[in-house]
Structure 1
Amino acid sequence: MSAVEAIRAKALGAVPHGFLARRGGVSTGAMASLDMGRRGQPPTPELIENQRRAIAAVAPGSVIVTLYQIHSADAVVITEPHDDHLRPHADAMVTNRPGLLLGILTADCAPVLLVDSAAGVIGAAHAGWKGAIGGVTDATIAAMEQLGADRHRIAAAIGPCIARASYEVDDGFAARFAADDPANERFFSPGKLGHHQFDLEAYVAHRLAAAGIRTVEMLGLDTYADEDRFFSFRRATHRGEPDYGRQISLIGLPAIDA
C-alpha cells in the first residue's frame, strides 16, 4: 500500500498543511486512490477512510472541514466543525480555531493555503478561473483580517493546478480577462488559431501579490500532465470519462491539548 503524499510549501513554515496527491487511499477504478470527492452524496466508507488517512498525514487528531464549492468569490469564517449537509456554499474559508483542518477540493483549479502565524489565523481557497477573476483570494485575505491577521504578514502557497501548457482557452475567455485588466494579457500565450494558453497559477499569484501578500510560493505542479500524482477534470473530459477524482489541500492550527 502506498503512503499518502502530502506536498508541503516552504512559505507556510511549520503550520500543519499539505497539498495531497492522489496516492495512498482506498478508492478504486478511475478515482483511485485518494479520491476526496463527495458528488453531492453523503460520505461513503471509502471517503471516510480516505479522510482518516489525510488527517493522519497532515495533523493527527484534527477534524476536516470542507465546503460546498460553487466557483464563487465567497469566503466564510469557520468556528466549529459542521455536519456534511450543512457545508457552507462558498469557495474559501478561514479560522483561528485549533484542531480544524480546512480542506479545499480541486481537480485542475488552484488550491491556495494561507497563514498568518503571528496572529494564529489560517485560510484556504478554491481558485478556479471564475473565482480567481472574481476575487476569491481577496475575500479570503479580508476574512483573515476580520480574525486579526495582517495581510503584510500572511504567507500563501498555490498548490497543484492545471499549468499554462495544458490549459487551452478560446478568444472569448482571454477577452474577459483583458476587459478586467489589459495587463492580464501577460498570463496568456498564443495557441492554435482562436485559442490561447492560460497561466492560472501565475494569475492567482498576481492577485495575491496585488492584494499585499509579500510571500507567495508557486509549487509549479501540473495536474493535467502528471496523471500518476493528480486527478484532472480536463484530462477526464478529454478522454470522455464519466467522472473524475478530486484531491484535497489541507491547512490547520495545532490542536490544544486538554
Structure 2
Amino acid sequence: MAEPVEVNRATLLEGVSHGFLGRRGGVSEGEVAGLNVGRGSGDDLDIVERNRTRAAEAVLPGARLVTVYQVHSADCAVLGGEPWSEEDRPKADAIVTDRPGAVLGILTADCAPVLFADREAGVIGAAHAGWRGALGGVTDATIAAMEALGARRESIVAAVGPCIAQDSYEVDAAFRERFLADDLPNARFFQEGRPEHFQFDLEGYVLCRLRLAGIAHPEGLRLDTYAEPERFYSFRRATHRGELSYGRQISLIGLG
C-alpha cells in the first residue's frame, strides 16, 4: 500500500485548497518510484493516471484535474467554462480560473511552480516557471490573466514551491548573460562558482519578478528538488546520475 500523499502548503494560501506535492504517496516503481504524474516519463500510463487521481484527491476531493501542455513559454491559458479534455490541452505554462470544481495542476521536475489566489475575487492561478518562462514573464502573464477575471493585483497572494535551489543549480556564463542582457541588476541572482560558471537562484529570481509585478510579499517554500531525492523528482539529479528517466511532481490549486 502506498504511503500517504505528502502535501506541502504555503502560509499565504491558507484557506485555499492547494498543495505542492512531491514523490511521496504514489504507486510508481523503479527510477520514478512514487507519485509520478508525468505522462512523458516512460512510466506505465495507467499508473500515472492513478497517481494523478491520488494527487487531486489529496488537495480537492471530487474536483476535476486540469493541466496544460507545458512548453516553457510565458503563455497563460484561461479556464472559463467546462474543463478541456487532455487531448485538447492548450500549449501554455500557466492557467487561471474563477470556476469552482476544477483543480489546476502544474508539473515540474526542478522548475519553479507558482500558485496564486485572490480570495475576495475568487480567482486562482498556477504557473510553471522554468528559467525560460520566468525570464519571459510567465508570472506577469498569470497576474494579468487573473485581473481580466476580476482579481485585484494588490489582493493577489502567491507562493513558489519546490524547485532547484541555488546551491544545486550550476549554469555557464552564456546562461548568465541572457539575464544580464534583460536587466543588469539580475547579476544578484548569480554567485560565482568554478571558472566560467555560476550558481543561479531561480526561486529568488521568481520571487523578485512577483514583487516587481505588484505582489507585495510572495512566499518561497525554500525546498530544493535536487537535494532531497526521497521527497522530490529532479531532472538535473537524474541526468547527473545517468538515470534513463525522471518523474514529475505536481502543484495544485482549486476552488471548492
**What TM-score do the two structures reach when normalised by structure 2?**
0.97
Give deviations 1:202-254, integer Å, cap 9, x for gaps.
Answer: 00000000000013000000000000000000001111211100000000001
Q: What aligned pairs does 1:4-23 form with structure 2 within 5 A after superposition?
A: 4-23=5-24
CA distance in structure 2 between the aligned counterparts of 1:43 and 1:70, rounded to whole angstroms = 22
Which letter does structure 2 place at the counterpart of 1:220? R
Query: Are the counterparts in 1 of residues 115 and 160 from structure 2 also a CA contact under 8 Å?
Result: yes
- The equivalent of 2:154 in structure 1 is 152
**Are 2:106 and 2:250, in contact at CA under 8 Å, matched by a contact in 1?**
yes
Q: Distance in 2 between matches of 1:124 and 1:42?
A: 25
Identity %: 62
Residues 198-213 of structure 1: matches in 2 within 5 Å? 198-213=200-215
Q: CA RMSD in A?
A: 1.3
Distance, in Å, in 2 between the alignment partners of 1:42 and 1:85 is 19
**Alpha-carbon displacement from aligned partner over 1:67-125 (angstroms, at most 9, x marks no partner):** 11000000010122221111110000100000110000000000000000000000000
Aligned residue among 77, 93, 96 for 2:95: 93
Alignment partner, residue 70 of structure 2 = 69
Report the equivalent of 1:102: 104
Amino acid at match of 1:248: I
Partner of 1:223: 225
Q: 1:188 to 1:42 in 2, by over 3 A?
A: closer
Q: Which segment drifts farther, 228-237 or 39-48?
A: 39-48
Structure 1, residues 57-76: CA drift from partner, whole Å, max 9, x if none?
A: 11101010011100000001
Aligned length: 254
Structure 1: distance between partners of 2:146 and 2:213: 13
Q: Distance in 2 between matches of 1:176 and 1:53?
A: 39
SS in 1 for 2:154: coil
**Higher mean C-alpha deviation, range 45-54 or range 194-203:** 45-54
Structure 2 partner of 1:129: 131
Q: C-alpha distance in 2, partners of 1:192/1:209? A: 31
- Separation in structure 1 between the aligned mates of residue 152 and residue 31 of structure 2, nearest angstrom: 42
1:163 pairs with one of 153, 162, 165? 165
Aligned CA distance change for structure 1 residues 42 and 229 (closer, same or farther; 3 Å) = closer
Match of 1:246 among 242, 245, 248: 248
Q: Which runs of 5+ in 1 are unaligned?
A: none
CA 1:41 to 1:222, structure 2 compared with 1: closer, same or farther past 3 Å? closer
| Gaps in structure 2 of 5+ consecutive residues | none
Q: Which amino acid aligns with 2:156?
A: I
Partner SS for 2:52:
helix
What is the DSSP-based 3-state SS (H/G/I as helix, E as strand, rest coil) of the residue aligned with 1:204? helix
> Offset of 1:52 from its aligned partner?
1.7
Q: Distance in 2 between matches of 1:51 and 1:63?
A: 10
Q: What letter is aligned with 1:29?
A: G
Distance 2:43 2:226 in 1: 28
Q: Which residue is equivalent to 2:115?
A: 113
How far the C-alpha of 1:43 sits from its partner, in A, is: 8.4
